[in-house]
Amino acid sequence: LSHSLLIVDQAVKKIVSKERSKKQGNYEAQEKYKSGIVVDPDSRETYSNWALGPENKYSALAQASYNQGLGLYKQGKCNNAIKRYKQAIYYNPSFYEAYYHWAIALDTLGKYNESIQVYRKTVELNPKFVEAHYRFGLALYRTNRYQEAKKSLKAVISLNSANGQFSFIDEDTFI
């Protein structure tokens, strides 16, 4: 009987330990959201995500880091924003929006060769992301990679048929 009680006691301790760990993860995520609000008090995304509460520690931390990056970018702090986007990707390696905004920040800093690599990863993760294809093509064009730029911009044309956002691009663009 005492052996059975010991096993039950150990099982209860494991459950309590997991719950504490889960609460700690939720607390960390909520603190990240709060600091995201401090960085950009006008960010609706930060408020709404915080209000929902983290269902998954890592996706919550990824979203919080991403939101911080958006706020820092709006403040013109591109290098700090890049750190947050990379942190978001660390927590969620398939977070294509974080890659996209990382590349935009690199573009802003004039680091086109670096941004090309990040845009490439963005369109690998989401091949239907029209804006990423467009900015990818522009970065390629800026680095005199005209044939690659044309290929990327052709993807914009084919993907863009639904919403027409990039209707100013045609087959002769950037020839």
pLDDT in tens, 55-97: 556 688 888 899 999 999 999 999 999 999 999 999 899 999 9
Non-local CB neighbours of 64 within 8 Å, separated by 6+ positions: 29, 32, 33, 35, 36, 46, 49
pLDDT band at 155 (very low <50, low <70, confident <90, very high): confident
Dihedral Cα 86, 40, 129, 119, nearest 10 deg: -40
Enter the tokens of residue 4: 């059975």
Distance of CA 19 to the CA centre of its chain: 28
pLDDT in tens, 14-35: 555 555 555 555 555 555 555 5
- Report yes or no on whether pTM surpasses 0.95: no
Measured between alpha carbons, how far is 64 from 92 in angstroms, rounded to an integer?
A: 11
